[in-house]
Amino acid sequence: MKLKKILVVFGTRPEAIKMCPLVKELKKNTKMKVTVCVTGQHKEMLDQVLHTFSVIPDYNLQIMKEGQDLYDITSRILVDIRGILQTENPDVVLVHGDTSTAFAAGLAAFYSQIPVGHVEAGLRTYNLYSPYPEEFNRQAIGLFAKWHFAPTDSAREKLVKEGKDPKQIYVTGNTGIDALQTTVRPDYRHPELEWAEGSRLLIITAHRRENVGQPMREMFRAIRRILDTFSDVKAIYPIHLNPTVRKIAQEELDNCASLRLIDPLPAEDFHNFLNKSYIILTDSGGIQEEAPALGKPVLVMRDDTERSEGVTAGTLKLTGTSEETIYNLCRNLLENSDEYYQMSHAKNPYGNGTASIQIVNILEQELEMRK
Ligand code: UD1
Ligand code: UDP
């Protein structure tokens, strides 16, 4: 039987963390020929993940340049991936989520009339500027995708309401939870965690485009005030490699004895840091899914979230980006043990770690490989 050709495309850290478990699962299937193309939208942060999961790409477009803007990313991927689509002529192109890599690679596949499978489909805020440009990217991918792999029932409902064919939508859970199964270990140790031992540990991340500037300064000032208020609290912040984010973080958070500013951690380490933390403060998307699976409350430093299931379940709280509100909500969570208990014992709504296996089974069926 002729092998079905699956081209998997990703380019940033979060996509890689959520696509590597799927690549590994696809590669176990003897009826599929799996090709991995990374765009290199991220460089060091992407390489960290490829190394953690031992995935070696077949193609690397290496598009990243410092200070890249949305025109650079989208146009370079669209043009550079054309030849790969022509050479490989895949039966399906799989993209993930809402990055510019996912949008541009999906659009390129659509131009070549190759079916697109969208992993992590149906997340929405319905505010095109928050998160920006991700809300546009994922809605646009939804227009041309043939198969929508939704992580939750509520993501599925949104797609149905938008008029997608319900038969083409599959609820699988989030592949990010699959990744956690291979990274988190109870006996994990790290020198930074030893530094924080005996304290309540905050893990911090921030990188969203719409927060760069004043909102990010407010977030960091709130965190600094928390650390000044509570002597038993320490914080670790692995800073994203975006130079503007790093500059703001260094300006606002330097010289704070109870906070460590460190480089981005490999996923395996970062997941274990989450697992050892007390509270997470972040504007990240993926961390909003991982933390509940580890029983950790998340203060989401954004005005909107597409992970509304986590808010409903009680494991995420939206804080907005004002210093005063973040400070008050974090303080409350540190002082109020009932609230802490409730947030850390809410049910994880993002699946049971079998999303990748489910997607492979669905693709087998959809690509008519079970004759
Ligand atoms: C991108 C995604 C965002 C995702 C985030 C994950 C888009 C539009 N945005 O945003 O959805 O949440 O990735 O982190 O697709 N850099 C490096 N080395 C790296 C990675 C980044 O130096 O390994 C620096 C570069 O200077 C780059 C900057 O970070 O210009 C920003 O990277 P970029 O991919 O443009 O945007 P992100 O904010 O990372
Ligand atoms: N992450 C990591 N190292 C770090 C910080 C985050 O591996 O130092 C992981 C985190 O566990 C999650 C993903 O990166 O899986 C989230 O990526 P990011 O916040 O950059 O993007 P988003 O999810 O917001 O798109």
Tell me the per-residue pLDDT of 192-218, one tens digit each, with 9 for 90 and over.
999 999 999 999 999 999 999 999 999
Cα Rg of the chain, angstroms: 20
Q: Would the CB of 164 count as within 6 Å of ligand 1?
A: no
pLDDT > 70 fraction of the chain, expressed in percent and rounded? 99
Q: Would the CB of 12 count as within 6 Å of ligand 1?
A: yes
Work out the average pLDDT over 225-236. 98
Angle at 275 between CA 319 and CA 23, to 5 degrees: 100
Give nearest CA residue, ligand 2 atom 7.
267
Atom of ligand 1 minimally distant from the CA of 70: 8
Tell whether the model's pLDDT for residue 231 goes beyond 90: yes
DSSP structure class, residue 265: P
CA–CA distances in Å: residue 232 to residues 255, 268, 297:
18, 26, 18
Work out the average pLDDT over 50-79. 97
Q: What is the mean pLDDT of the chain?
A: 97
Q: Is this model's pTM higher than 0.85 or not?
A: yes
> How far does residue 209's CA lie from ligand 1's centre (Å)?
9
Question: How many Cβ atoms are within 10 Å of 111's Cβ, its own excluded?
Answer: 13
Tell whether the model's pLDDT for residue 370 goes beyond 70: no
Give nearest CA residue, ligand 2 atom 10.
287
How confident is the model at residue 102, as a pLDDT? 98
Tell whether the model's pLDDT for residue 47 goes beyond 80: yes
Tell whether the model's pLDDT for residue 52 goes beyond 70: yes
By annotation, the residues acting in catalysis are 98, 120, 134, 207, 209, 240
DSSP structure class, residue 166: G
Atom of ligand 1 minimally distant from the CA of 43: 23
Contact 286, 18 (CB under 8 A): yes
Q: Would the CB of 205 count as within 6 Å of ligand 2?
A: yes
pLDDT > 90 fraction of the chain, expressed in percent and rounded? 98
> What b/e sequence results for 236-246 when a residue is b if at least 16 CB atoms lie within 10 Å of its CB, and e otherwise?
bbbbbbbeebe
How confident is the model at residue 368, as a pLDDT? 85
> How far does residue 43's CA lie from ligand 1's centre (Å)?
9
**124-156 tens-digit pLDDT:** 999 999 999 999 999 999 999 999 999 999 999
- Distance from C-alpha of 41 to C-alpha of 63, rounded to nearest angstrom: 6
